[in-house]
Structures are given as structure tokens and as C-alpha cells.
Amino acid sequence: MAQRDDEFQYIDEELKELGLDGPAPSVRRDDLTLSTGTLGTLVWGEHPEIAFLHGGGLNAHTWDSTVLALGRPAIAIDLPGHGDSSWRDDFDYSPQTNAVAVAEALDALVPGVPQNVVGQSLGGLTGIALAGSRPDLVKSLVIVDVSPGIRFEDSAQVRDFLAGPQVFPSREDIVEKALAAGIGSSRRQLERGVVLNTRVRDDGTVVFKHHLANPPEGVAPSLGDFTTLWDAVIDSPVPVLLVRGSHGFLPPDVVAEFTERVPRAIVVEIEAGHNVHEQKPAELAAAIGAFLDSH
């Protein structure tokens, strides 16, 4: 598990990077015991109005800088199999399955209060699935660098980073591998993320906390057929913002397909890679804030 006493140690550093003055906002960990297992959550402030869902292989802390820059009460959730959430015996981390756990968490934390759901990558697809299965929980959708039409196999970043052994001699080795794969633009940001997303084993080696890096023997990672999510986002009446990283995973034809199928969607492009929220948190927060203020 993460170093619980230290998981908020970087907040003051991130505030300084963002150029924000004043004391850090209140934040607490609230891990929930649900029918699907434990689900880790971070609750920022009181009366949350935004629910943040991270991408595959990340965790709730990936949103820290974005939440700080946005300055609104929020919930950041560790998706099943990630962060401090339970691993699933069936190794099913599809958006539809994730959405069941997210719905149960929102029912427990903010009963009767629809959330503005912000999701990146797998979290964005989970947000779409949530809007389809539990529309009462979703006030609006912000989808970051993902679409039901995404082709993850086109990304050399994913192939390079997931290739090879997932046991490392040190956290610094993980940072170096991520930089070599073109993931992240700041060594310091990567260092923080690696501390919060790994654990050191008794023998001193380091492994990721998420289950995707530790699949059951003989089982290949599979997140399902994303194209089945088109109906959920097309049929939902909620406002939609699609944020594209200019160097991310959405080529122009996939963005064009999204806007054709979801004509109500607003599209914003930010100069960043796939992890827009980590590379350009202030810019993403500004886009989210403008979108929320518009409806």
C-alpha cells in the first residue's frame, strides 16, 4: 500500500508550481467498503461537485494539481484495481464494470447530488459508461484524450512502457523508463507520480500498485470493446467537453468521428500528450472551469 502518512506531502510543492498562494485546501482519504470490494477515494473540500476518474495504470493522485488549480470541491476516485482499491479476481477492468463501483461510491459519498464527471483515458470511458447506466449521477461529462473510437494499439508510448518486466530495482528506474517512452514532460512530476503509484517490496524491488501490471498467470490485459460505448454518449443528454492533447492518443479522424456522432460536444485542444492533466493542469482546469460555468 502507499505510504499513507506521506500521500499528501506534495501538495504545497504543487501549489507553488501552479503559482497559487494561501493554505492548501482540505483533503482526506475516504476508502469505502462496497459490494465490489474496497474503493479508494480522495475528498477535496466539502459538498463535492466534480468526480475525477483517472486513466489505466494511474490513481486518484494523478488529479492533485488539476484539482488544486480548479479550486472546487471534488472527489478523485481510485478505479478498481488501482491505487488503494481492491483488485478484482476476474481481472475485469472494463469501463462498464468500473462504472458499477463508481456509481456505488457516488451513492455513498454524494447521495442525490449529480456530479460533473471528468475522466481521462480509461476514466473517460468509465464516465461514459456511468452516464449510460446511471444518468442520475452525471450532470456533465469532460472526456480527456479518449473516445469510444480510440485505437490504443496505435500508441508507441503504451507499447514501449508496458513492454518488458514490471518489477524494477528502484523507483528511479521507472522514471527513466517513462521518460524514454515519452511519457510525461517533467522529471519532478514523474518522480512524485511514481512514489504515489508504486510500492517497495520486502526485497527492495519496486512494483506498480495497479493490477494491470500484475495480471494473473496466462491472462492478457483486456478492457473490452470500447465501441460499445457509443450509444451511451450519443443517447445521453448531458453536456460534453472533449479535451484533446495535441500530442496525445486521438488522431484528427477519431476527433472528427466523435464530433460527428456527438454534435453537442465542445472540443478543446491543449498542447500536451495523453496525460493532459499531469502536463498542463492549469490549462485543463481553466477549460473545465469555463465549461462548467457555461451550463
Parse the chain into domains and list their residue ranges: 4-150+219-293
* DSSP β-ladder status, 74-77 and 115-120: unpaired
Q: Please, what is the Cα angle at 126 between 124 and 131, to 5 degrees?
A: 95
Strand runs labelled E in the chain: 27-29, 32-34, 37-39, 41-44, 50-53, 74-77, 115-120, 138-144, 167-168, 198-200, 206-208, 240-245, 266-270
Q: How far is CA 49 from CA 39, 91, 111, 118, 184, in A?
A: 19, 30, 12, 11, 28
- Helix then strand count (H, E) for the chain reads 11, 13
* DSSP β-ladder status, 198-200 and 167-168: unpaired
Contact 66, 284 (CB under 8 A): yes
Output the pLDDT for position 2.
36
Closest by CA to 263, choosing from 286, 282, 240, is 240
Cα 249 from chain centroid (whole Å):
15
Angle, helix 187-197 to helix 171-180, in steps of 10 degrees: 130
Output the pLDDT for position 228.
96
Assigned CATH topology for domain 4-150+219-293: Rossmann fold (3.40.50)
Annotated active-site positions, please?
121, 145, 274
Q: Tens-of-pLDDT digits for all 295 residues of the chain?
A: 333 348 999 999 999 999 998 788 999 999 999 988 999 999 999 999 999 999 999 999 999 999 999 999 999 999 999 999 999 999 999 999 999 999 999 999 999 999 999 999 999 999 999 999 999 999 999 999 999 999 876 665 555 555 556 899 999 999 998 888 777 778 999 999 999 999 999 999 999 999 998 888 888 767 889 999 999 999 999 999 999 999 999 999 999 999 999 999 999 999 999 999 999 999 999 999 999 999 8
Residue 248 exposure: Cα atoms within 13 Å on the Cβ side:
28
Q: What is the pTM of this model?
A: 0.94
